[in-house]
Chain A
Amino acid sequence: AQKVTQAQTEISVVEKEDVTLDCVYETRDTTYYLFWYKQPPSGELVFLIRRNSFDEQNEISGRYSWNFQKSTSSFNFTITASQVVDSAVYFCALSFPGYSSASKIIFGSGTRLSIRP
C-alpha cells in the first residue's frame, strides 16, 4: 500500500534556527514521484519541489534543501536560517502510476511550522 507519513505534527523554532521536516513514504512501485508543498495561512498550497524515484541527488534552492534517500524511504526538507515568513503547513506527497492512467497522489498529514521572532 502507498502511504506518506509526516510524524512531526507541529514544530516551533526561533527565527534563524535551522529546521528539518521529515517525510517517510511507502510504495511498491519502482517509478514514483515525491513532492513538497507549502500551505501558508491563506490556504492555497504552493508547489516547492518534485523528485523522481531514479534521482537521488539532493537539491538546494536558496535556504531550502531536500534530502532524498531511497534506502530509508525518506524525503526530508530542511530550512536553513528560518524566517517568520516560513511559517506554514508543509505537506509531503507521493505520486505513482496506480492502476490506470489517472494521476494518483497521496498527501501526508502535514507539519505545521511556526517560526517565532
Chain B
Amino acid sequence: DGGITQSPKYLFRKEGQNVTLSCEQNLNHDAMYWYRQDPGQGLRLIYYSQIVNDFQKGDIAEGYSVSREKKESFPLTVTSAQKNPTAFYLCASSKGGVYNEQFFGPGTRLTVL
C-alpha cells in the first residue's frame, strides 16, 4: 500500500536534546512538507521541499532543520534552539504545484520534559 509513514508515533525527550523525526513516502511524490500543530490551532508550515537536495523554510523554521537526500525521505530535526518544541508534527507529500492535494502521515507527538 502506498502512503506516508512517520516514526515514532510518540516521542519523549529531555530539554536541550536534539531529536529527529522520520518521514518516508512511497507515493513517488516530488514535494514533501513538515507541519506543526498545536492544540486548537491549524497547521503551520515548518519546511518544505520540492525536489531532492533542495528545501525552503516555511513560516516557523527557527529551531528546526531538514534534509532531502532521497526522494522518499524528509527527516526533521528539532534542535535545542526550538524554544517550545512540544507539539504534534505532521509530514505530508504531494505531486507538487499549488493545485495538488497533500497526503499526510499519521503524525508524531513530541513531548519535551
Contacts and interface: CB of A to CB of B under 8 A. Distances in A.
A30 B110 CA distance: 39
A102 B41 contact: no
Interface stretch (B15-23, B79-87, B93-101): B93-101
B3 to A, nearest CB: 9
Given A45-B90, A97-B98, A105 B107 contact: no
A57 interface: no
Contact of A91 (B42, B48, B96): B42
Interface string B100-113: 11111111010000
Given A43-B106, A107-B42, A108-B42, A35 B98 contact: no
Contacts of A50: 99, 101
Interface in A83-103: 91, 95-98, 100-103
A9 to B, nearest CB: 7
Interface residues of B, number: 28
A105 B40 contact: no
Contacts of A42: 106
Given A102-B48, A107-B42, A109-B42, A44 B98 contact: no
Contacts of A37: 104
A36 to B, nearest CB: 10
A91 B100 CA distance: 16
B66 interface: no
Interface of A: 4, 9, 32-33, 35, 37, 42-47, 50, 52, 91, 95-98, 100-105, 107-110
Interface of B: 31, 33, 40-45, 48, 50, 56, 88, 90, 92, 94, 96-107, 109
6 contacts: A37-B104, A45-B102, A95-B98, A97-B98, A103-B96, A107-B43
